[in-house]
Amino acid sequence: MNNHSDALAFYQLLEKIIRALTAQERTETVKAKGYLAEMCKMFRLSKGTTQFYEGINEEAAGQGETLIAYDDGSECKPVMSVRVVTKVRAVVICTVYMRDGVEPLSDDERDKIDLVMRTVLTAVSRNRMQLAIERLAFHDEAGYRNMRAYLRALAKMNEMRQLGSKAAMHFNLRHFSLVNQQIGKSAGDVALRSHYNGLSKMIGDGGTVCRLGGDNFVAICDKSQLEAVLDYLTETPVLYDLTSGRRILIAATAGVFSLPDGFVMRAPGQILDKIVAASYAARTGGKEQIVFYSDTLKQNKERSMRVQQRFPEAMRNEEFHVFYQPKIDIRTGRIIGAEALCRWFRNGEIVAPTDFISVLEETNDICKLDFYMLDHVCADIRRWLDEGREVVRVSVNLSRKHMMDIDLLKNIIDVIDKYEVPHEYVEFELTETTTDVEFRDLKRVVAGLQKAGIYTSVDDFGVGYSSLNLLCDIPWNVLKVDRSFLPVDTDDADSMRTIMFRHVVAMARSLGMECIAEGVETERQVRVLLENGCDLAQGFFFDNPLPVGEFETRLGKSDYPVLS
C-alpha cells in the first residue's frame, strides 16, 4: 500500500469501522467484523484477534475470551501485537498474523495497522465496561434483572409509544418457603431461576421479567402474549435438579394491569401502584389467583389508605368502642361470658370491623387496636367489680400479627395487672394458622397465657386449614365452632354439616375443652346444639353485640330463652 488511492481507501474503511464499533445496535457489530476482515485483506494479513481478560491475574492464568475478527484458515504467525490495561484493570490484546512468504509489512503499513488495532482496543474495552456497568446496575447479586431494569424498560417503551399494547404484572410465587422446605434451599434457587428463565424466554423481546427480591417479581409483555403468560403463572412445572431432570410445580398469584390503548406514562407509579395493589388483592383475597386491576380495586385501595391515615387520630379521639356480645348457657338461659367486638364511630356512623380489621392487619396497626380493646375491657371489668356486679369472663380477639412479638405475653399481663383484674376473667380468641413457623409461635403464646391463668380459645374453628394437630398440640381452653358448621334451614337432620358438628363437639369435649357455637341465629340451631351436647352459644338469637351500657343490664341475669 503506497499510493494515494490506497491511502484513501484505508481511511474510508477505518471510518466505517469506527462508526460500526461505536454504534449501539447489534447489527453494527456484525458489520464491524466484515470491515475488519476487509482491512486484514488490505494488508495481506491472514488473521486478526482480540483477547480480553478481566484482570492481570486472569491474563497470567490464560482465562479470558478471544474474539476473532478474521481468519483465512491458513497457517500463520503473529507479526504485530498491542496490549493495553484499562482503567478498571482489564487487559485487552490485539494481534495480527501473516503467512510465511508473504511480502512483509512496510513501516507505513505498520503505523496504519497500529492505528486500527488501537481503535479496536478502545471500542472493545469501552463495550466491556458498559457490559460490566449494565451487570452491576441492572441486576441483583444473584444475577436477576432488578427494579431499575424494569423502570428502564418501561421508560423505553413509553418513549417509543408502545405501552398501549402491553400488559404489566406483579407476581408472587405461592408458598415458596414451603417449596424450599420440601426440596432444600439450593434446589429452591434452581427452581426459582428456571421459572424466571422460562418466563423470560416466553416473553422474549416483547417485554421483560425482573425480580424485586425474595419471590416477588414484575413483568411486562405484549397483550397478545398475556394468555400464555398467565397460564404459565397459574401453574407450571420447572426444573430443580439439572442432572436428574426432576421438576416441581410452581404457582403464582398475580396482579395484572392491561394498559389501555394509547397509554402514555407520566410516572412509573401509574403502572406500579396498580399491579402491586392487584397482586396484593390476589395474594390476600384467597379467591382469585390472578386479579386484574379495576376501578373497584382502586376504590378498595383508596378506602384502605383512608383507614390507615385516619387510624392514629381515631385512636387518640377514642373513636373505637367496645361492644359486648353475650355468651349463653342454653340449658339455663344464663349469661356466662361475652366477646368484645370493636366498633368504629366515625362522623356519626358505625363502621363494622370487616371494613377495617384486614386493612389494619396490613400495617400491624391491628396490634395497637387489640391492646386498646384489651385496655378498655380491663377498665370495664375493673369498674364492674368495684360496683359489685356479677362479672363474666370476656374474650378479646388477638390478631395473628402479634405472634412474632416476643414481648406479647408480658405486655398483656402488664395491662391486666394494671387494672388488678383477676386473670380468669380474660380470654383471648385466636384463629388457626397455616405455616409451621406460625404454629410454633402460636403454641408458645397459648402455653404462656395458659400458665398465667388466662383463657384461650380457637376462633372460627373449621373455616381455615384446621388440623387436628392444632387441637392436640396446643393447650386451648375453648373451641369456638364456626357458624358454617351450623345447619341452615334447608338442611335435614342428617346433613353433612350436622354430622360434622356433632363430631367436632364430641372431639372438643373429649379433649377437655369447652365448646361454644358462634353465629346462632335460629331456634332450630339451638335445638341442634342441645341434641349434640353443645351447651354454650353466642349469636343474634340471644343478643347482638351491645354497647357497654346495655350489656351491663344483662350481667347477672338468667332470662335468655330456654327451649323445652
Give the N- to C-terminal CA distance of the chain in Å, as an integer.
120
475 binds, among ligand C2E, Mg ion, none (CB under 5 to 8 A by kind): none
Closer of 70 and 501 to ligand C2E (Cβ): 501
Report 368-407 residues binding Mg ion (CB under 5 A).
397
* Shortest CB 87 distance to ligand C2E, Å: 59
Half-sphere exposure of 124 (CA within 13 A, CB side): 28
* Shortest CB 440 distance to ligand C2E, Å: 21
DSSP states along 173-198: ETTHHHHHHHH-HHHHHHHHHHHHHH
Closer of 183 and 357 to ligand C2E (Cβ): 357
* Shortest CB 561 distance to Mg ion, Å: 22
Residue 365's alpha-carbon distances to 315, 437, 457, 501, in angstroms, are 10, 22, 22, 35
Contact region for ligand C2E (CB under 6 A) — 100-108, 193-201, 350-358, 488-496? 350-358
* Shortest CB 515 distance to ligand C2E, Å: 15
540 binds, among ligand C2E, Mg ion, none (CB under 5 to 8 A by kind): ligand C2E
Closer of 365 and 460 to Mg ion (Cβ): 460
* Shortest CB 214 distance to ligand C2E, Å: 27
- Cβ neighbors of 78 (< 8 A, separation 6 or more) are 95, 96, 97
Report 414-443 residues binding ligand C2E (CB under 6 A).
429
Please pick, from the candidates 24, 354, 553, 564, the single residue that binds ligand C2E as defined by CB under 6 A. Answer: 354
Closer of 158 and 525 to ligand C2E (Cβ): 525
Q: Cβ distance 477 to 536 under 8 Å? A: no
* Shortest CB 401 distance to ligand C2E, Å: 8
330 part of the interface to ligand C2E, by CB under 6 A: no
540 part of the interface to ligand C2E, by CB under 6 A: yes
253 part of the interface to ligand C2E, by CB under 6 A: no
- Cα–Cα distance, 542 to 522 (Å, whole number): 9
* Shortest CB 469 distance to ligand C2E, Å: 22
101: left (phi over 0), alpha (psi -120 to 50) or beta: left
- Cα–Cα distance, 521 to 58 (Å, whole number): 79
Report 440-469 residues binding Mg ion (CB under 5 A).
459-460
Tell me the one-letter amino acid at 105: L
* Shortest CB 454 distance to Mg ion, Å: 16
- Cα–Cα distance, 215 to 252 (Å, whole number): 9
* Shortest CB 518 distance to Mg ion, Å: 5
Q: Cβ distance 82 to 114 under 8 Å? A: yes
The partner residues of 46 in beta bridges, in order of sequence, read none
Closer of 365 and 459 to Mg ion (Cβ): 459
- Cα–Cα distance, 338 to 326 (Å, whole number): 4
236 part of the interface to Mg ion, by CB under 5 A: no
Closer of 177 and 358 to ligand C2E (Cβ): 358
- Cβ neighbors of 354 (< 8 A, separation 6 or more) are none
Per-residue contact flags (x/-) with Mg ion for residues 509 to 528, judged by CB under 5 A: ---------x----------
366 binds, among Mg ion, ligand C2E, none (CB under 5 to 8 A by kind): ligand C2E
325 part of the interface to ligand C2E, by CB under 6 A: yes
* Shortest CB 459 distance to Mg ion, Å: 4
- Cβ neighbors of 318 (< 8 A, separation 6 or more) are none
Residue-wise burial string across 422-449, b where 16 or more C-beta atoms lie within 10 A, e elsewhere: eeebbbbbbbbbeeeeebebbbebbebb
SS3 at position 545:
coil
307 part of the interface to ligand C2E, by CB under 6 A: no
Tell me the one-letter amino acid at 543: D
Query: Using the 8-state DSSP alphabet, how is residue 54 labeled?
Result: S
Beta-sheet pairing, 166-173 with 91-98: unpaired
Beta-sheet pairing, 290-292 with 252-258: parallel
427 part of the interface to Mg ion, by CB under 5 A: no
> From the CB of residue 49, how many other CB atoms can be counted at a distance below 10 Å?
17
* Shortest CB 241 distance to ligand C2E, Å: 43
208 binds, among ligand C2E, Mg ion, none (CB under 5 to 8 A by kind): none
Q: Is 275 exposed, middle or buried (0-12, 13-18, 19+ CB in 10 A)?
A: buried
Site size for Mg ion, by CB under 5 A? 5
459 part of the interface to ligand C2E, by CB under 6 A: yes
370 part of the interface to ligand C2E, by CB under 6 A: yes
Contact region for ligand C2E (CB under 6 A) — 119-127, 130-138, 486-494, 512-520? 512-520
373 part of the interface to ligand C2E, by CB under 6 A: yes
Closer of 179 and 373 to ligand C2E (Cβ): 373
Closer of 357 and 452 to ligand C2E (Cβ): 357
> From the CB of residue 11, how many other CB atoms can be counted at a distance below 10 Å?
11
Q: List residues binding Mg ion (CB under 5 A).
A: 397, 429, 459-460, 518
Q: List residues binding ligand C2E (CB under 6 A).
A: 325, 341-342, 352-354, 357, 366, 369-370, 373, 397, 399, 429, 459-460, 518-521, 539-540, 545
